[in-house]
Amino acid sequence: MNLINLELISFKIALVLCVVSTAGYLLSLLVKKIKLAKISTWILSAAFVFLTVNLLFAVINFSGLINPGSRDFLSLCAWSVCGAYLALQFKTKTRILGVFISPFILLFMIAAAGEASGKYLLPQNLQSRLTAVHLFLTIVGEALFIIASCAGLMFVMQNSLLKNKKLSRMSRLLPSLNDLDRINHICLLWGFPVLSVGIIAGTVFAGFSWKAGWLTDPKIIWTFAGWIIYGFLLHQRLAIGWKGYRMAVISGAAFILLLLSYGSVRFCFSTLHNFI
């Protein structure tokens, strides 16, 4: 069995495990059983292991660090969200957060599965170590922002249940407000510098390669808008002392807005970042 086969097999196993864990998470919400969410977290951990193996094989097979395949790029997106979520599970036992996170991971995986193997993500002129660093850090930064926002949305749900004096099954299933706020805080704290370095790497590369005109690229504007919102939230949290509900609402709303604007940029405009 050659390495390409091993890469494909590990990807397929990871995909199946992602499907199972997402189904498990959604079912746990439906039947309101935390145990199912716990099992799904273990399955997702296994998916993460296989995805790591898959990416290692991808690096060995195609020197993918500098020029990743389209599939590997999307796998990397899934891997980043998954890794960040699982790392947070060590800090806070908020398994049910997976209900919101796992569909994103699965979407990345399905998109990755749809990409032909061996197709390179970057055009020849964009292949460099700097773009690799830019891609990786931007993805990890955005992944952390996804988690911060999901925690924010869950905070809003839990807040509304508790404000309405309801200690329902749903409320029992959702994590505590403090834990959700902590996740939001940790993700912003780590995500912002990571995204910043990612953007700087991209800017340096663009400054050298594209010279002019790239600043008005819709996707760059979108990323920059995300970075500004990120920075604003972090500033309000650290300097002004925003906590809890307000942070949750704004990060949730910003996330939905960014998601919608990304969708419209992706499908309506031709950009310098057509490959993502």
Partner 1 sequence: MILLIGLNHKTAPIAVREKVFSGCQEENDLLSSLLSLTGVGEVLYLSTCNRVEIIASVEESEDAVQSLSDFLARNGGLTPVEAASCIYKYYDKEAVRHIFRVAASLDSLVMGETQILGQVKDAYRQALAQHATGVVLNRLMHCSFRAAKRVRSETAIAVNPVSVSFAAVELAKKIFGSLAGKKILLIGAGEMAELTGTHLIGNGAGEIIVANRSMPQAIALAEKFHGEVVSLDALDAKLIEADIVISSTSAPAYIVTADLIRKIHHQRKNRLLFLIDIAVPRDIDPAVSLLENVYLYNIDNLQDIVDENMNVRKKEAIKAEMIVEEEITRYVSWQKEQESVPTIVSLRNKAEEIVLAEMDKAAGWIKNLDKEEQEKVDNLVNSIVNKLLHTPVAALKEESSEFSSKDIVATARRLFRLDD
Among 15, 179, 195, 254, indicate the residue that binds partner 1 (CB under 8 A): 179
Among 167, 212, 239, 268, indicate the residue that binds partner 1 (CB under 8 A): 167
Q: Which pair of structure tokens corresponds to residue 190?
A: 């780590």
- What is the closest distance, in whole angstroms, from the C-beta atom of residue 118 to partner 1 in the complex? 47
Which is nearer to partner 1, 180 or 201 (by Cβ)? 180
Cα–chain-centroid distance for residue 151?
A: 13
Residues with Cβ within 8 Å of residue 224, at least 6 apart in sequence: 199
Q: Which of 263, 257, 206, 204 shows the shortest CA–CA distance to 228?
A: 257
Which is nearer to partner 1, 20 or 177 (by Cβ)? 177
Phi, psi of 120 (to 5 degrees): -80, 145
Which is nearer to partner 1, 71 or 185 (by Cβ)? 185
Among 244, 253, 261, 276, indicate the residue that binds partner 1 (CB under 8 A): 244
Interface with partner 1 by CB under 8 A: which range of 62-70, 134-142, 170-178, 261-269? 170-178
* 28 lies in the binding site for partner 1 (CB under 8 A): no
| CA 107 – CA 22 distance, rounded (Å) | 10
Q: Which of 117, 13, 15, 108 shows the shortest CA–CA distance to 68?
A: 117
* 239 lies in the binding site for partner 1 (CB under 8 A): no
Interface with partner 1 by CB under 8 A: which range of 41-49, 112-120, 162-170, 194-202? 162-170
Interface with partner 1 by CB under 8 A: which range of 38-46, 135-143, 156-164, 201-209? 156-164
Among 117, 127, 128, 171, indicate the residue that binds partner 1 (CB under 8 A): 171
Q: Within 79-118, which residues bind partner 1 (CB under 8 A)?
A: 92
CA atoms within 13 A on the CB side of 36: 16
* 213 lies in the binding site for partner 1 (CB under 8 A): no
| CA 30 – CA 130 distance, rounded (Å) | 45
Q: Is 127 helix (H, G, I), strand (E, B) or coil?
A: coil
Q: What's the one-letter identity of residue 137? A: L
- What is the closest distance, in whole angstroms, from the C-beta atom of residue 94 to partner 1 in the complex? 9
211 touches 272 (CB < 8 A):
no
139 touches 80 (CB < 8 A):
yes
Q: Which pair of structure tokens corresponds to residue 92?
A: 């806070």
* 63 lies in the binding site for partner 1 (CB under 8 A): no
Which residues lie near partner 1 (CB under 8 A)? 92, 158, 162-163, 165, 167, 171-172, 175-179, 181-182, 241-246
